[in-house]
Amino acid sequence: MVSGTKRGSLLGTLGLVAALAGGSAQAQDPYARERESLLEEIKAMARETGTETGRAVFSVRVMAAMAKVQRHRFVPASYGPLAYANRPLPIGHGQTISQPYIVALMTELLEINPSDAVLEVGTGSGYQAAVLAELARQVYSIEIIEPVGKRAATLLEELGYRNIETRIGDGYNGWPEHAPFDAIVVTAAAPRIPPALVAQLKPGGRMVIPVGAEGDVQFLHVMLKRTDGSISTQRSLPVRFVPLTRSN
């Protein structure tokens, strides 16, 4: 039996250890609190937009991926203080890193399984690819702007992602060498869904893509290819993405 005096001393010691451990964890990850706040904001936005998206609550797997990927590694150093703000940020060459809520939503709508191969059109900063890689067996990511794609590829390798393969090229044509894909996500707006991407989607697969001409209202579309090859498409939230760039 522990006496009252000893119990108080013991509890005080345990409290000090816990405080030191918490301080150590914060020192190791100075963005931990910002990331936690961002996750709560994503959950709140999911509830607010649930009627439009059909996803008022995001899956545990998706939220765990969002919690694990360190967004501050993917933004320019000058924007470090805004790394966990729930907003897009410029990354150079007229490109942006998407709003975290939109990254989470698009990932949720893909319904990725651990055995899936996923195609991403528009590597950008590499942030969306990293989130996908936490959920899928393999991610293939295409970026048409060479310096942007090379920078993302270098960072993803530094961060230890071995299940992401990148290339520089025109994502409008997909990546036929690795098709068909269980899921496809496009991180730039196209005036229409590219036929090549539809062809490279497996029966039973899903594609998430913003659709709308430059200057027009864009909407997020969720396309399902049924097992018989027929297509169904559902329009989701209004969004704003950079245009999908073509090589010609």
- DSSP notation for 14-47: HHHHHHHHHHHHHHH-TTHHHHHHHHHHHHHHHH
pLDDT by residue (tens digit) across 225-236? 999 989 999 999
Count of beta carbons in the 10 Å neighbourhood of residue 92: 12
Q: What percent of the chain has pLDDT over 70?
A: 88
Which residues are known catalytic residues? 98
Whole-Å CA distances, 55 to 59, 130, 234, 237: 9, 22, 13, 11
Helix ranges (DSSP H) in 69-205: 100-110, 127-133, 146-158, 195-199
Q: What is the pTM of this model?
A: 0.87
Sketch out the chain's domains with CATH numbers: 31-239 (3.40.50.150)
Task: Say if residues 97 and 88 touch (Cβ distance below 8 Å).
Answer: yes
Angle at 75 between CA 151 and CA 138, to 5 degrees: 55
Q: Is the pLDDT of residue 8 over 80?
A: no
Q: Is the pLDDT of residue 209 over 80?
A: yes
Q: What's the first-to-final CA gap in the chain, in angstroms? A: 80
Whole-Å CA distances, 116 to 8, 109, 138, 190, 209: 53, 14, 7, 24, 18
Q: Is the pLDDT of residue 244 over 80?
A: yes
The pLDDT score that the predictor gives to residue 193 is 94
Provide the pLDDT confidence category of residue 211 given band limits of 50, 70 and 90: very high
For residue 46, which phi and psi values (nearest 5 degrees)?
Answer: -60, -40
- What mean pLDDT comes out for the span 14-42? 71
- What mean pLDDT comes out for the span 203-216? 90
pLDDT by residue (tens digit) across 38-89? 999 999 999 999 999 999 999 999 999 999 999 999 999 999 999 999 999 9
Tokens of 228: 């018989």
The pLDDT score that the predictor gives to residue 92 is 94
